[in-house]
Chains A and B, each alone.
Chain A
Amino acid sequence: MISGGTNWALPSHAPAPGVGDLTRRMTDEQPRWGRDTAVASRPVRSYGTMTDDLRSVPGAAASLPPCQPSERNPSVSRRSAGKLDLDPATVRRARSLARQAGRPIVALARTHSTVSVERAVLRLAGVRGADADGNPWVNRLVDAVRDEVGLEHGVALPVWDAIRRRGAPTGAGGGDAVTALAQRAAAGRVGLRLPEGRDADLARRAARREVARGVRRIDARRAERERLVRRIGDAPRKPWIYLIVATGDIHEDIPQAQAAAREGADVIAVIRSTGQSLLDYVPEGATREGYAGTYATQENFRLMRAALDDVSKELGRYVRLTNYASGLCMPEIAVLAGLERLDMMLNDSMYGILFRDINPVRTFVDQRFSRQVHARAGIVINTGEDNYLTTADAVDEAHTVTVSQLLNEYFAKEAGLEDWQLGLGHAFEINPDLPESFRLELAHALLARELFPKAPLKWMPPTKHMTGDVFRGYLLDGFFNLVGALTDQGILLVGMMTEAVVTPFLSDRDLALQNVRYVLDAAGNLHEDFRPAPGGFIQSRAHQVLDEAVDLLEAIVAEPGKAPLLEAIGDGTFGLMKRPADRGKGLDGVVRTSAGYYNPATDVLENDSAPVTARGGGR
């Protein structure tokens, strides 16, 4: 019973209108069955998404004074080397097992091709555009080759043979000639054949010439990035602050991304539309409708990169752009990212298999090619290990993250990526109710840091144990940031206290950035003083996780068959999902290559060295 009765006369029976409306609105903004499945759509995470309100924040920079660039003591190892006292023999063993597990997969990737790899070749040769129904010409032409000749020899020989025999339309050269061929192929048979002898040599040479031109364009974009970073300046500190934008409409994304950059973001990620990973083609043009994200298209890439170039100049620091080379079109999207100077790409070796049920062989073939392109383009890849921890227990399954990181590292290096390009993922997902959860997080994060001392590492905030209690979530994000600072993470995805509640409010993102800045300013150099006790809890836990990772890798390589890793994926070793090699989406786009297979892109990427450049990481 209330004490005073004075307010009884007020219309108290009616619910407070504001509150009711707000609740309903928030509910409406939740993702839906059949539609805006924001969570499901995101290969990574849903925080950092911005509200529409942000569009009109031209001068938002004022709210974020730059952090003091931290003067690091040169005598103290920046890499916190040796803090865990890891046994070098165990570390070597772990790497050698990862190599053992990965090598047969690489062999598989070398002897197979996919429709998307072949389409990527055509894109490198300059084919652009789509037919009236939106089917890209690269799809039409690859389908035509498949129908008339078969795909096992690659598209290059039949395509450039046909161009040579038929002659290019006057004035059309390079990509235009191929596009013209695709258009003719769509209208009817163009008499594609597999050339032999001298004809094959001529076709091979022409294909290589055209594709090498595309690779040189990627080289030029990389050099341009390096020049811009030098001229404009780089992110003022590490870790780089990574924020997500996603409205579905590229023209809405652009002002939001610019505002986020002004508020302090060093990296902007544009989340893709739900379901794009399962499209077996790359949509064309600037897109204004997507489900809980914006389609990855070449034009959208171009528009966003240009907008961030503008804001980079305004802010005096190069703002990086991230998208997703995942799903069925990984190789093509990697090519488009290289051509349009994207700076980072989500690219995980097993994510599509486990979380999207894409055929394992398709994934590994596509992945290798896409990583070769990323390597050439100077793009930093971000891997998706955080996803394991959202499906499995973050303590019990911590070693699966380590195993995946080791596999990702092996596949990445085999494809030509260098250490500075490996944004290996991991996440702060241990149940906060568990005693010592923070120490466990520290142990895991430090293990990743010490196992991969030269990799930037991508540190992902809590999502699984974020509840509607935004106050508790804010504290949790603070501890997440502290682990990031203590373990020298390279890329920090900003955690939102409204994770799992609403699309973050303008104020949520502001509070989240204050949280990051406070922790980095207050404790950014604490790693210099932080030394876990020898033989103590953190060291022991890290050793345990590494040992478990070695055990798991041993179990994987002990699987039967030519490619034990495929068997392991098939019987549910990772993330509790069973993904047999002969199942999954995109299998019909995989082909075993013939002895005469020719891929001019692989030829150029593997045999022509890139022009000498400073490394593009801007570190």
Chain B
Amino acid sequence: MKKIVRPYGDTTGDGMVQVSFTLPVPHDKRAEGAALQLARKMGMDPALVVHAKPVGADFTFFVVYGSVSHLVDMSAVKVLEREYPLLTPKEVNAAVKTRLRREIVVIGACIGTDAHTVGIDAILNIKGFAGEKGLEYYRELKVVNLGAQVLVPDLVARARAEKADAVLVSQVVTQRDAHLRNTKEMSAAFREAYPAGQAPLLVVGGPRFDEHATEELGVDRIFGRGTTPGEVASYLVHALTERHTGGARR
């Protein structure tokens, strides 16, 4: 059944919303008129400018209340589901403890000539990124961050020495598709060094990757721009516990 809703101010169906914005015009009557015009174009009618304040000589800040004419069809709302649940650090630690019964070893590096450790550091360093702590913060994750310009053979050797469960590689430099070549080289080296199905989980991240290209690049997961440490940690738990419980099939 079609369910239609409108914003709720103080009465069902009144459609009332509140917005605030700044226009790059000096504060005067014209500015308030401009705010009203914008509000109407945003679907607010009637709209009421309840606050207008100059911010410097050339800007005006507005608060506008009004009823929007737009309707929301709840049956047409679509959301994208992630293939794994997003866990808090506490939940990640608990899941690792109960499901794997040992800590997860994660190795991170920037490979090739790439000296931009920004991405890998944002994900691994305790300082983290976007308000989330990096993987170092997770008690049940052992993080080895090899830093920049790591050679692929060194990465493989270190992964073997540390018995890594997952290898995280960040690639920022994309000149002449360096990120794709480096990633393929890396995944090939791991395939060569490990028996089939035994290689650590290979995860790459960077702003220019296509998240669907896992097969082509030979990796398990690709993360694009805006990825947070929590997403990576949640994915690792999901993928590794699945591997762990599904081990018999492989």
Q: B54 and A62: CB pair below 8 A?
A: yes
Q: A33 and B170: CB pair below 8 A?
A: yes
Of residues 60 through 85 on chain A, the ones whose CB sits less than 8 Å from some CB of chain B are: 60-63
Known contacts A34-B118, A275-B118; A40 and B127 CB within 8 A of each other: yes
Known contacts A4-B13, A34-B171; A259 and B56 CB within 8 A of each other: yes
Of residues 111 through 155 on chain B, the ones whose CB sits less than 8 Å from some CB of chain A are: 116-119, 121-123, 125-131, 133-134, 136-137, 145, 147-148
Q: B223 and A10: CB pair below 8 A?
A: no
Expressed in whole angstroms, the minimum distance between the Cβ of A34 and any Cβ of chain B is 3
Q: B126 and A576: CB pair below 8 A?
A: yes
Of residues 477 through 500 on chain A, the ones whose CB sits less than 8 Å from some CB of chain B are: 500
Known contacts A16-B70, A40-B122, A275-B116; A35 and B207 CB within 8 A of each other: yes
Q: B43 and A31: CB pair below 8 A?
A: no
- A88 at interface by CB-CB < 8 Å: no
Known contacts A10-B70, A576-B137; A33 and B4 CB within 8 A of each other: no
Q: Which residues of B contact A536 (CB under 8 A)?
A: none
Residue of B nearest to A64 (CB): B56
Q: B171 and A507: CB pair below 8 A?
A: no
- B109 at interface by CB-CB < 8 Å: no
Q: Which residues of B contact A59 (CB under 8 A)?
A: 56-58
Partner of A30, one of B73, B130, B171: B130
Known contacts A506-B55, A507-B55; A37 and B129 CB within 8 A of each other: yes
Partner of B147, one of A16, A35, A585: A585
Known contacts A32-B226, A62-B56, A576-B126; A16 and B22 CB within 8 A of each other: no
Of residues 424 through 468 on chain A, the ones whose CB sits less than 8 Å from some CB of chain B are: 463-464, 466
- A322 at interface by CB-CB < 8 Å: no
Partner of A63, one of B24, B54, B224: B54
Expressed in whole angstroms, the minimum distance between the Cβ of B37 and any Cβ of chain A is 13
What bracket does the count of chain A residues touching chain B fall in? 35 or more
Q: Which residues of A contact B70 (CB under 8 A)?
A: 10, 12, 15-16
Q: A33 and B123: CB pair below 8 A?
A: yes
Q: B122 and A33: CB pair below 8 A?
A: yes
Of residues 166 through 217 on chain B, the ones whose CB sits less than 8 Å from some CB of chain A are: 170-172, 205-207
Q: Which residues of A contact B122 (CB under 8 A)?
A: 31, 33, 37, 39-40
Q: Which residues of A contact B145 (CB under 8 A)?
A: 357
- In the assembled complex, the Cα of A355 lies from the Cα of B55 at a distance in Å of 37
Most buried by B among A61, A278, A463: A278
- In the assembled complex, the Cα of A511 lies from the Cα of B41 at a distance in Å of 26
Q: Which residues of B contact A274 (CB under 8 A)?
A: 118
- In the assembled complex, the Cα of A8 lies from the Cα of B76 at a distance in Å of 16
- B160 at interface by CB-CB < 8 Å: no
Q: How many A-B residue pairs have CB under 8 A?
A: 171
Known contacts A37-B119, A62-B54, A577-B136; A7 and B69 CB within 8 A of each other: yes
Q: B131 and A60: CB pair below 8 A?
A: no
Of residues 348 through 391 on chain A, the ones whose CB sits less than 8 Å from some CB of chain B are: 354-357, 387, 391
Expressed in whole angstroms, the minimum distance between the Cβ of B7 and any Cβ of chain A is 10
Q: Which residues of A contact B72 (CB under 8 A)?
A: 12
Q: Which residues of B contact A510 (CB under 8 A)?
A: 53, 55, 61
Q: Which residues of B contact A503 (CB under 8 A)?
A: none
- B241 at interface by CB-CB < 8 Å: no
Known contacts A13-B76, A63-B55; A40 and B118 CB within 8 A of each other: yes
Partner of A354, one of B22, B126, B205: B126
Expressed in whole angstroms, the minimum distance between the Cβ of B182 and any Cβ of chain A is 13
Q: Which residues of B contact A511 (CB under 8 A)?
A: 61
- In the assembled complex, the Cα of A585 lies from the Cα of B61 at a distance in Å of 47
- A187 at interface by CB-CB < 8 Å: no
Q: B205 and A33: CB pair below 8 A?
A: yes
- In the assembled complex, the Cα of A585 lies from the Cα of B119 at a distance in Å of 17
- A170 at interface by CB-CB < 8 Å: no
Partner of A291, one of B13, B76, B118: B118
- A2 at interface by CB-CB < 8 Å: yes
Expressed in whole angstroms, the minimum distance between the Cβ of A471 and any Cβ of chain B is 10
- B98 at interface by CB-CB < 8 Å: no
Of residues 68 through 119 on chain B, the ones whose CB sits less than 8 Å from some CB of chain A are: 68-73, 76, 116-119
Residue of B nearest to A274 (CB): B118
- A18 at interface by CB-CB < 8 Å: yes
- A41 at interface by CB-CB < 8 Å: yes
Residue of B nearest to A17 (CB): B42
Q: A505 and B22: CB pair below 8 A?
A: yes
- In the assembled complex, the Cα of A391 lies from the Cα of B5 at a distance in Å of 41
Partner of B57, one of A8, A58, A291, A391: A58
- In the assembled complex, the Cα of A62 lies from the Cα of B172 at a distance in Å of 44
Most buried by A among B21, B56, B76, B119: B56
- In the assembled complex, the Cα of A61 lies from the Cα of B55 at a distance in Å of 9
Residue of A nearest to B72 (CB): A12
Q: Which residues of A contact B171 (CB under 8 A)?
A: 34
- In the assembled complex, the Cα of A30 lies from the Cα of B231 at a distance in Å of 15
Q: B71 and A12: CB pair below 8 A?
A: yes
- In the assembled complex, the Cα of A406 lies from the Cα of B25 at a distance in Å of 50
Q: A507 and B20: CB pair below 8 A?
A: yes
Q: Which residues of B contact A505 (CB under 8 A)?
A: 22
Partner of A3, one of B12, B24, B42: B12
**Chain A 47-61: CB-based contact to B (< 8 A → 1; otherwise 0):** 000000100111111
- A90 at interface by CB-CB < 8 Å: no
Expressed in whole angstroms, the minimum distance between the Cβ of A462 and any Cβ of chain B is 11
Known contacts A2-B6, A40-B127; A35 and B56 CB within 8 A of each other: no
- B227 at interface by CB-CB < 8 Å: yes
Q: B131 and A500: CB pair below 8 A?
A: yes
Q: A506 and B59: CB pair below 8 A?
A: yes
Known contacts A34-B118, A35-B172, A63-B56; A356 and B128 CB within 8 A of each other: no
Of residues 68 through 118 on chain A, the ones whose CB sits less than 8 Å from some CB of chain B are: none
Residue of B nearest to A291 (CB): B118
Q: Which residues of A contact B116 (CB under 8 A)?
A: 34, 275
Expressed in whole angstroms, the minimum distance between the Cβ of B82 and any Cβ of chain A is 16
- B225 at interface by CB-CB < 8 Å: yes
Residue of B nearest to A577 (CB): B126
- A135 at interface by CB-CB < 8 Å: no
Q: Which residues of B contact A34 (CB under 8 A)?
A: 116, 118-119, 170-172, 205-207, 225
Q: B56 and A33: CB pair below 8 A?
A: no
Q: A500 and B130: CB pair below 8 A?
A: yes
Most buried by B among A34, A259, A576: A34
Partner of B13, one of A3, A18, A31, A33: A3
Q: B133 and A391: CB pair below 8 A?
A: yes
- Other than the known A12-B73, A37-B119, A391-B127, what 5 A-B pairs have Cβ atoms closer than 8 Å? A2-B12, A33-B225, A39-B128, A39-B130, A507-B55
Query: Can you name 12 A-B residue pairings with CB atoms under 8 Å?
Result: A12-B72, A33-B170, A33-B223, A35-B172, A39-B131, A40-B129, A53-B22, A275-B116, A278-B121, A355-B125, A356-B127, A391-B126
What 6 pairs across the A-B complex have the smallest Cβ distances?
A: A60-B56, A59-B57, A34-B119, A32-B225, A12-B71, A57-B56
